[in-house]
Amino acid sequence: MTLTIPKVQMHKSGPPCSGLVWGTMRSQSQFSNAHALADHLRWLLDHGITTLDTASVYGHPDPFTVEEFLGEALAQVGADKFEIVTKCGIQRLSKHRPENKVRHFDFSEKEIRKSTDLSLQKLGVDCLDVMLLHRPDYLMDPDETAGTLDDLVAQGKIKHVGVSNLSVSRTELVASRLKAPIVTNQIEFSPLHLNPISDGTFDHAIRTGYKPMIWSPIGGGRLLTSEDEHVVKLRGLLGTIAKTYGLDGPADAAIAFVNKHPVGGIPVVGSGNRDRILGAIKAINTDMDRQDWYSIIAATNPSLFL
């Protein structure tokens, strides 16, 4: 089988991105230094993964440090070879944000502008391909938030605007005040987390014409490691299904499951392991049978059949 990663459009207005995205959230645990991360980025390019997902808040053990780590690696490889998706709005306790007294969310003009400028500087780029509002800020003033994002597009600091973890109504609220189209909603979806298929999220994406980005398609590893009785059973089923398609194991069956939904979701994989990423590439080239797909639904949430 020839393994390819298709180039897809998140939305008709763009951006083009790779049909499998690599997420940087765990990168500081996976790579000991920026040089090792740069090697990994070159390997991703060689395999057709050109889109990287990051966020202002990512960093372990120190929040707000991944973008700088990624920027050092990108400087060695060439940031212009990638599409970069980043996010703003999560505030965590960190020595880099001494003003934060509690974890909170902030979609104010001041925070979005500050976060954008810091992302540009840390990543070492002139323009961000996509800026996502990371998690709902319940105190958001939609006119202020949308107006700020449109202005950043007009200034050429960001090319496209999207959201993440936003309900359909909140996404529509932001869209109602934005001039720019919303090009994606980055959400969780996996055999362990089925909400988007039945809560209207995927219907909204199809209706309005964007592809969601799918985070934690294997539940952040929990699908492979949890000893929870229900997960052990699900892992067994996914392992059996994987064999049918010549896939490496349950993780790849989970990615083929995610990939099957007609919404055309773009999986964001978080593994730093090359064999596992190759397995994911095989998975997005696999067309899972309808009845296998439904057997996973039945194992995870039989109430969806009622």
Ligand X SMILES: NC(=O)c1ccc[n+]([C@@H]2O[C@H](COP(=O)([O-])OP(=O)(O)OC[C@H]3O[C@@H](n4cnc5c(N)ncnc54)[C@H](OP(=O)(O)O)[C@@H]3O)[C@@H](O)[C@H]2O)c1
Catalytic residues, which ones? 58
Binds ligand X (CB under 6 A): choice among 15, 23, 162, 265 = 23
Using the minimum distance from each CB to ligand X, give the nearer residue, 271 or 301: 271
What is the rounded distance in angstroms from the CA atom of residue 209 to the CA atom of residue 204? 8
Using the minimum distance from each CB to ligand X, give the nearer residue, 128 or 154: 128
Among positions 245-264, residues that touch ligand X (CB under 6 A) are: 251
**CB under 6 A: which stretch of 98-106, 139-147, 168-176, 267-275 binds ligand X?**
267-275
Which residue sits closest to ligand X, CB atoms considered? 270
**CB under 6 A: which stretch of 31-39, 116-124, 212-220, 292-300 binds ligand X?**
212-220
First-residue to last-residue Cα distance in the chain: 38
Among positions 118-177, residues that touch ligand X (CB under 6 A) are: 164-165
Please tell me whether residue 286 binds ligand X under the rule CB under 6 A: no
What is the rounded distance in angstroms from the CA atom of residue 170 to the CA atom of residue 164? 11
**CB under 6 A: which stretch of 21-29, 108-116, 117-125, 288-296 binds ligand X?**
21-29
Q: How far is the CB of 90 from ligand X (least distance, A)?
A: 8
**Which residues here bind ligand X, judged by CB under 6 A?**
23-26, 30, 53, 164-165, 186, 215-221, 224-225, 251, 268-273, 276
